[in-house]
């Protein structure tokens, strides 16, 4: 009897479509561009396929240009929770710093942390795994003379602390981008190594982000 | 039998405390100070009592210094909805404009409208009456030379449009303050008529806000 | 004998080239574009010719994009005094206000006045006539909701006071532009009436500036 | 006869007061406070006396709160050149960076360099020795998370380049302050080590600045 039961279960398992891990990338224009050809999400999907893992994962991006942490909070229900993801990769923070000088509409440090934690809380309440990324760069110079370097370091520290406090996986893009530039940007240029315009990713930047996140996603399982 | 039942009901009704209209004032430091002695909420409560209407209304203030529209959205559930109000008076917008130049963390116009509408939606979904106020002043000069005059006029227009679109009562403090200053500020001073510091209310300012809102609250019933 | 002397003088006067009044326009990108085809300086020159006054005036423009009042002060010697003008038309102030929000590098009010006065002092010390212009617009909306309206009004007031205090001719472009827009901008648009982009002059804007200044120049003599 | 003349000259020389090297400190509020008790200029004067060199040097401070590089340029004639100094120590740059976020009236990078060079040119034209200082700190945290770190590093680089290009002595306070904080600020505090408020010098800060400049002044001779 026991054998028979096992046999049936086996068959069911074999034919039932395996439930894929649904991963949503949640962010700003960098993530919006991530779903375009050559974008980091497309690259993750390609790496997944080439490793014959496309049966295990499915990827969705929801990035909106100009978004800051509180914009993610506002659209969390509609754009993320309603789609029932297993994993959410949060990649936010550039505009929270950059828009201070660009439009005078950046995000205060304490509120950045408060909204970020509120998003984490809502995701964890649904048992959704959360991966957080530090904002990579606003300017690629390696001698700490990009105007927002101090501020983006501070906001990256907030995300690192949130990752520790909430036991989340951290993709430290800020750190990876600096290390990459220290190797590949001997002329101390402010763009053109991993970004097109100091902020948005060029092909090398999309590839670096894709690799960093994809490795973390696989480590997640 | 019927008589008896009615009789009991009558007694119950007579002795049960009348359900008061619960009004919550929702805002920033101006509303925070509104619950202090001489504050506009205290003054509304006093006017209510002196008109023998304290059996009909109860007033609560939840103002937090530095709050902008998205901060209200973040704490809407905890600080407002959980307290089951019948009416919510929203008084926000000064920091959304002012913090642009003060801290580079103001609120973009389109997002100001989006978050404001999201708050209105959540309140209306619970059948809570909504009264909205325009931000009064950042500087009391009457010749349109306060640095933020153009911007605060624009954000006031957004609130006026939202009031129209959502059929809400509007307390147009921006308009009332200008009219008051045109009469009482012949020297074109930037503070001291209705504010202590160009933004926060002095006794005359608290009195004006109290009267404007109290009249609207009574008109509401 | 007296008759004869007079006669000689007459002949000399008739044949000697008349010394033209040399007018330099001193400003920012708006003045830089003023010397391009269709620009306001070119238009003034055309009006001058069509009124058969080209023997009386010659016009030079020295406008540099991004200039603020202290930039004019820095290059006053090289670009203006060294050219020995009879009249200098100062048209500055837009960037002093606008660059506050655009680049965080605007000019403090008190310093705007101090540098402006220092320029006037140096010009007057050489007996150069000074004509000052108020900055026209940063946004053409007529309902006082252009974000910089309050601030540009304040800086215009500084220039008006400087004109009064130093007995200078004032071309009040701020006022002229508002009056023109009240007539010709019924839709309350922020550009396209006198400017291409809220700041820089379109043909109608160049024409209005040309007329206002040209009339003042002629009144100057 | 010749002998006698020489003899008189000798006596005159022996008794005539030695011409002191006149040093003017030229800057902002930090230099303004430098002439107050405990200030860095007072400390330099004390060190000079205790080394029995008060016959060789005299010190004057002209610092004005809120000054940026162009303010120094504006008052160069009145406050410096008219006093015929032998050496001018320029200590400017903090407000050029800081006032970007504080008041939206910082100084563009290219203009910072241009005005600084113009000051140097005027001083060199009078054969005045110029010593330049980098702006020390806006926040003393050592992990590059002070919001203006990137920008103040950039402006310090401009001053370093100007020193090289114009063969000027450089007092690299930015570097000295960081090195001091790396040793004495293990808690990564943003103030209280060398400053009272992230910017203005406490006694230890005044002492450090005094030592750095005094050593450079002596090396100058």
Q: What is the pLDDT of residues B137-187, one digit of tens each?
A: 999 999 999 999 999 999 999 999 999 999 999 999 999 999 999 999 999
Alpha-helical (H) ranges within chain C are 2-15, 29-32, 40-50, 69-79, 94-103, 109-124, 149-165, 173-184, 203-220
| D51 has a pLDDT exceeding 50 | yes
Residue of C152, C167, C146 whose CA lies nearest to C99: C152
Instruction: Flag if B103 and A105 touch (Cβ within 8 Å).
Output: no
Compute the nearest-CA separation of D100 from chain C (Å): 5
pLDDT band at B1 (very low <50, low <70, confident <90, very high): very low
The C-alpha of D196 sits at a distance from chain A's nearest C-alpha, in angstroms, of 20
What's the gap in Å between the CA of C99 and the closest CA on chain A?
11
**Residue B15 pLDDT:** 54
What is the rounded CA–CA span in Å between residue C101 and residue B104?
9
Question: What pLDDT is attached to residue C76?
Answer: 98
Mean pLDDT of chain D: 93
Strand partners, A89: A25, A131
The backbone torsions φ and ψ at residue A119, rounded to the nearest 5 degrees and listed phi first, read: -65, -45
Token pair recorded at residue D168: 């000027």
What element of type H or E holds B171?
A: strand B169-171
Predicted local confidence at residue D157, as pLDDT: 98
Q: If residue B72 lies in a helix (H) or strand (E), which one and from where to where?
A: helix B69-74
Question: Residue B7 — very low, low, confident or very high, per pLDDT cuts 50/70/90?
Answer: low
Nearest to C153 among B104, B145, B154 (CB): B145
Half-sphere exposure of A125 toward its Cβ, with a 13 Å CA cutoff? 9
Print the SS3 string covering chain D. CHHHHHHHHHHHHHHCCCCCEEEEEEECHHHHHHCCCCCHHHHHHHHHHHCCCCCCEEEEEEECCCCCHHHHHHCHHHHCHHHCCCEEEEECCHHHHHHHHHHCECCCHHHHHHHHHHHHHHHHCCCCEEEEECCCCCCCCCCCCCCCHHHHHHHHHHHHHHHHHCCCEEECHHHHHHHHHHHHCCCCCCCCCCECCCCCECHHHHHHHHHHHHHHHHHHC
The pLDDT tens digits along chain A (221 residues) read: 444 545 554 544 555 566 899 999 999 999 999 999 999 999 999 999 999 999 999 999 999 999 999 999 999 999 999 999 999 999 999 999 999 999 999 999 999 999 999 999 999 999 999 999 999 999 999 999 999 999 999 999 999 999 999 999 999 999 999 999 999 999 999 999 999 999 999 999 999 999 999 999 998 65
Please determine, for residue D3, whether its predicted confidence score (pLDDT) is greater than 90.
Answer: no
pLDDT score at A220: 60
Residue C132: in which H helix or E strand, if any? strand C129-133
pLDDT digits (tens, 9 = 90+) for D58-82: 999 999 999 999 999 999 999 999 9
Q: What percent of chain B has pLDDT over 90?
A: 90
What is the reported pLDDT for B16?
A: 54
Helix, strand, or coil (residue B145): coil
State the Cα–Cα distance between residues D216 and D154, nearest whole angstrom.
23
Distance from C-alpha of D188 to C-alpha of B56, rounded to nearest angstrom: 56
In chain B, whose CA is at the least distance from the CA of A74?
Answer: B115
**Which residues is D24 bridged to in the sheet?**
D60, D88
Q: In Å, how far from its chain's centre is CA D176?
A: 14
Q: Under an 8 A CB cutoff, do A106 and B104 touch?
A: yes
Bridge partners of residue B24, in order along the sequence: B60, B88
Beta bridge partners of B90: B26, B132
CA–CA separation, A199 and B24 (whole Å): 43
Inspect the interface and report whether the beta carbons of C101 and A104 lie closer than 8 Å: yes
Two tokens, residue D170: 């450089």
Which of A68, A77, A78, A105 is the best mutation test for B, with the most CBs of B within 10 A?
A105
| Distance in Å, alpha carbon of D143 to nearest chain A alpha carbon | 9
In the prediction, which pLDDT does C1 show?
43
**DSSP assignment, residue B54?**
T
The model's pTM:
0.91
Q: What is the pLDDT of residue C220?
A: 60
CB contact under 8 A, B143 and C153: yes
Query: What pLDDT, in 10s, does the model give residues D87-146?
Result: 999 999 999 999 999 999 999 999 999 999 999 999 999 999 999 999 999 999 999 999
Q: Best interface-test mutation with A: which of C99, C100, C101 has the largest number of A CBs within 10 A?
A: C101
D144 with A148: Cβ contact below 8 A = no
Q: Closest Cα partner for B118 from C87, A70, A49, D165?
A: A70
Find the CB nearest C105 among D66, D73, D108.
D108
In the predicted structure, residue D28 carries a pLDDT above the cut 90? yes
Name which of A82-86, B122-126, D18-22 the model is least confident about: D18-22
How far, in whole angstroms, is CA A6 from its chain's centroid? 41
Q: How confident is the model at residue D6 (pLDDT cuts 50, 70, 90)?
A: low
CA atoms within 13 A on the CB side of A53: 16
Can you tell me the distance from the alpha carbon of D158 to that of B62, in angstroms, rounded to the nearest whole number? 49
CB C118 within 8 A of CB C165: no
Q: Which residues from B are below 8 Å from D103, CB to CB?
A: 101
How far from C117 is each of C62, C123, C127, C158, CA to CA, in Å?
19, 10, 15, 10
pLDDT score for A221 = 55
Residues B39, B206: contact at Cβ < 8 Å?
Answer: yes
Q: Read off the tokens for A41.
A: 């999400």
Tell me the C-alpha distance between B19 and C30, whole Å.
66
Per-residue model confidence (pLDDT) at position B152: 98
Q: What is the pLDDT of residue C221?
A: 55
Contact indicator for D195, D202 with CB cutoff of 8 Å? yes
Cα(C127)–Cα(C107) distance, integer angstroms: 28
- Which neighbouring-strand residues pair with D91? D27, D133
| Burial status of residue D37 (CB atoms within 10 A of its CB: 0-12, 13-18, 19 or more) | exposed
Cα distance between residue A133 and residue A173, in whole Å:
6
Kindly list the residues of chain D whose beta carbon comes within 8 Å of any beta carbon in chain B.
101, 103-104
* Contact (CB<8Å) D149/A146: no
- Sort strands D21-27 and B169-171 into parallel, antiparallel or unpaired: unpaired
Q: Residue B56, class by beta-carbon neighbours within 10 Å (0-12 exposed, 13-18 middle, 19+ buried)?
A: middle
Angle value at C-alpha D107, between D101 and D112, nearest 5 degrees: 145
The one-character DSSP state at C201 is B
Which chains are within 8 Å of B by 3+ CB pairs?
Answer: A, C, D
Spell out which chain D residues touch chain A, with contact meaning CB-CB distance below 8 angstroms: 100-101, 104, 139, 143-151, 153-154, 157
Asked if A101 lies within 8 A of C104 by C-beta distance, the reply is yes
Using alpha carbons, list the distances in angstroms from residue A88 to A18, A21, A43, A120: 20, 11, 17, 10
- CA dist B108 and B106 (Å) reads 7
Query: Higher pLDDT residue, B18 or C83?
Result: C83
Model pLDDT, residue A1: 43
Q: What's chain B's average pLDDT?
A: 93
Place of tokens 């008589």: B3
* The predicted structure's pLDDT at residue C54: 94
Pick from A100, A105, A111: which is nearest to B71 by CB?
A: A111
| Mean pLDDT per 10-residue segment, chain C (221 residues) | 50 62 98 98 98 96 98 98 98 98 97 98 98 98 96 98 98 98 98 98 98 92 55
| Contact yes or no for D150 and A147 at CB 8 A | yes
What Cα–Cα distance (Å) separates residue B143 from each residue in B181, B182, C80, C113? 10, 9, 35, 19
10 Å CB burial of residue B8 (0-12, 13-18, 19+) is exposed
CA–CA min distance C213, chain B (Å): 25
Residues of C in contact with D115 (CB under 8 A): 70, 74
Torsion angles phi and psi, residue D201, rounded to 5: -80, 135
What are the Cα distances from residue D44, in Å, to C6, D39, D217? 74, 9, 10
Q: Is the pLDDT of residue B112 over 70?
A: yes
- ipTM of the assembly? 0.90
Q: Give the whole-angstrom CA distance, residue C157 versus residue C113.
A: 10
Confidence of residue D153 (pLDDT cuts 50, 70, 90): very high
User: What DSSP designation does C20 have?
Assistant: P
Distance from CA of A221 to the nearest CA of B (A): 32
**Distance (Å, whole) CA B93 – CA B135:** 5
Q: How far apart are CA B28 and CA B173, in angstroms?
A: 15
Q: Quote the CA–CA distance of D185 and D173 in Å, as a whole number.
A: 16
């Amino acid at each position: 009897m026991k054998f028979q039961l096992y046999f049936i279960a086996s068959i069911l398992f074999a034919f039932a479509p395996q439930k894929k891990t649904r991963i949503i990338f949640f962010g700003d224009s960098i993530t919006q561009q991530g779903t375009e050809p050559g974008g980091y999400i497309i690259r993750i999907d390609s790496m997944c396929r080439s490793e014959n893992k496309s049966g295990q994962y499915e990827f969705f991006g929801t990035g909106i240009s100009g978004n800051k942490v509180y914009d993610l909070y506002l659209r969390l229900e509609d754009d993320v929770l309603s789609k029932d993801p297993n994993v959410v990769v949060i990649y936010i923070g550039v505009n929270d710093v950059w828009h201070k000088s660009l439009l005078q509409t950046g995000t205060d440090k304490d509120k950045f942390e408060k909204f970020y934690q509120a998003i984490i809380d809502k995701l964890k309440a649904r048992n959704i795994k959360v991966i957080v990324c530090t904002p990579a760069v606003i300017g690629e110079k390696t001698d700490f003379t990009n105007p927002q370097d101090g501020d983006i370091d501070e906001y990256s520290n907030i995300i690192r602390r949130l990752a520790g406090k909430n036991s989340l996986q951290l993709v430290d893009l800020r750190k990876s981008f600096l290390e990459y530039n220290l190797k590949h940007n001997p002329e101390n240029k402010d763009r053109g190594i991993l970004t097109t315009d100091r902020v948005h990713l060029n092909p090398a930047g999309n590839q670096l982000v894709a690799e960093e996140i994809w490795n973390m996603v696989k480590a997640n399982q």
